[in-house]
Amino acid sequence: MAESREHTGLGVEQFLEKLPRELSRWESDGIITSEQGQAILGSYSPSELAPASSRAQGRLVTSLSIVGSVLLGLGVILFFAANWDGIDRWPKVGIVLASIITAHGLGYYLRYHRDYRRVGSAMMLLACLIYGAGVHLIGQAYNVDVNDPSLMLFWFLGVLPLVYIVRSQPIQFLGLALFLLAVGFRLPDWLDPIPRGEAVLGLALFLILGLMILAIGRLKEEIPALRDYSEVFQLVGMITALGALFVLTFRDIFDSFNRGGSGGFIEGEAELGFRVMIVVAGALTLALVLAAAWLHRRREREFTLTGVEGVAIAILLAAAYVVIGVDTGGEVVFAVTFNVLLGVSLLGILVSGYLRGRELWVNIALLFIGVDVIARYFEYSWGLLDKSFIFVAAGVILLLGGFVVERGRQKMLERIRSGPSSS
């Protein structure tokens, strides 16, 4: 089960850190020639061969730069908001444009001319935040409601090109978050004609969108030129899909089953935009899964982990359409079904994270497992037992569960960090 070296985990990172020394020893022993050693080193980027301390410092710089850009952006936004009413319309536009151009220009200079990639990317992130604030402030100057969904859409469209122009993970996170927020702000208008069942429709849409983003990330992982954009897409898509799936595990979401009526548990017809979005997103997700499987098949002849993940995405996609199109006559069937799907999905993410050497996936799965256990405990015991006993029992369960999970997590992470040599 061969995976690309860009995504094989901490064990491979430790191997790459030792690789230059090993190559020198192999050259001295006559195992390889100097030209072969240089060719091997040349197949890796300098960042992959950097010492662990250097990578840790780089992460610290990135964190500090992001926090600094967010705080600076917040300060600029608050300054604009406090003095906005006293500025004429055209000077407002000029101030916003000048701020955006200045931040982008400084970020470009630091990133591409001084090779301060992390600080330069943070400045470009600041420009994106100022742009979003400017969209809303200028819209307000032209009497556009600050809650107008179009403003979030314009912010997303302004950030979207930078997602691919600047190879910056924070900007990728921002772009995907803005896409989901743009859909979320538009959702109430789309579902306004729906008298009941709107919660299920909204959750089904976000489950599909999460799977679509995840599928985009999986496809990018199969294309060498796009692998730098794969990790963030997979992470955001996975969290979005798991979040929607988790909410669908609650029985109260399907309480409209018991309200009677002749039109099923979802009544009315959503706006055209919603119907187009949910159909196009589903079709695109399926096409992306098939494309990723085809590309992976070209490199590997056996049905590997990638194929299993594709099947899982297809099953969850089908569940999202079934829940909005099939009336079972009660809330129990769907609640049980989605609890099973969530459990299997979390188990699959644990296995996939372990096999791929991705600690973050393992931690996300364990976090969702812990939250789900707590939610199920309070959902089914709240009305049955004395409230004080519920909290005492919950505390004991959480402490014991935390010990067991942490013990298992440590063993799993030790195996991941041991790298290919142990497997």
- 393 is a domain residue: no
pLDDT greater at residue 242 or residue 144: 242
Asked whether residue 292 falls in the same domain as residue 345, the answer is: yes
What's the CA gap between 214 and 230, in Å, rounded? 9
Mean pLDDT, rounded, for 104-113: 80
Evaluated on CA atoms 219, 224, 226, 230, the torsion sign reads: positive
Percent of the chain with pLDDT over 90: 16
Residue 262 is assigned to a structural domain of this protein:
yes
Helix axes 387-418, 10-28, angle to 10 degrees: 20
Tell which of 170, 188, 206 closes a domain. 188
353 and 257, same structural domain?
yes
How far apart (Å, rounded) are the C-alpha atoms in residues 204 and 112?
Answer: 42
Closest by CA to 107, choosing from 130, 127, 132, is 127
Q: Kindly state the average pLDDT of the residues 238-261.
A: 79
Q: Both 234 and 246 in a single domain? A: yes
pLDDT single digits (tens) 283-318: 999 999 998 888 887 776 555 667 778 888 889 999
Higher pLDDT residue, 114 or 257? 114
Question: How far is the C-alpha of 54 from the C-alpha of 82, rounded, in Å?
Answer: 42
Residue 179 sits in the same domain as residue 239? no
How far, in Å, CA of 99 to CA of 130, rounded? Answer: 7
What H or E segment, with its residue span, contains residue 316?
helix 305-325
- pLDDT number for residue 213: 95
**One domain for residues 25 and 174:** no
Q: Is residue 370 part of a domain?
A: no
Q: SS3 sequence, 324-378?
A: HHCCCCCCHHHHHHHHHHHHHHHHHHHHHHHHHCCHHHHHHHHHHHHHHHHHHHH
Q: Is residue 108 part of a domain?
A: yes
The predicted pLDDT at position 4 comes to: 41
Lowest mean pLDDT among 137-141, 162-166, 247-251, 334-338: 137-141
326 and 249 together in one domain: yes
Higher pLDDT pick, 174 / 420: 174
- 253 and 321 assigned to the same domain: yes
The answer to whether residues 352 and 330 belong to one domain is yes
* Domain, as residue range, for 313: 191-362
Give the tens place of pLDDT for each residue, 188-213. Answer: 889 888 777 788 889 999 999 999 99
**pLDDT above 70 as % of the chain:** 67
Cβ-contact 362, 412 below 8 angstroms: yes
Kindly give, in sequence order, each residue whose CB lies less than 8 Å from that of residue 269, ignoring residues fewer than 6 positions away. Answer: 193, 194
Among residues 318, 335, 362, the one where a domain terminates is 362
- Give 7's pLDDT tier (boundaries 50, 70, 90): very low
Look at residue 397 and tell me whether its pLDDT is greater than 50: yes
For the segment 340-382, what is each residue's pLDDT rounded down to a tens digit? 899 899 988 888 887 777 878 888 888 898 888 888 777 766 5
Do residues 65 and 118 make contact, with C-beta atoms less than 8 angstroms apart? yes
- DSSP-derived 3-state class of residue 267: strand
CA dihedral 197, 198, 203, 209 (to 10 degrees): 130
DSSP string, 117-181: HHHHHHHHHHHHHHHHHHHHHHHHHTT--TT-HHHHHHHHHHHHHHHHHS--HHHHHHHHHHHHH
Among 169, 188, 207, residue at a domain's last position:
188
What's the total number of domains in the chain?
3
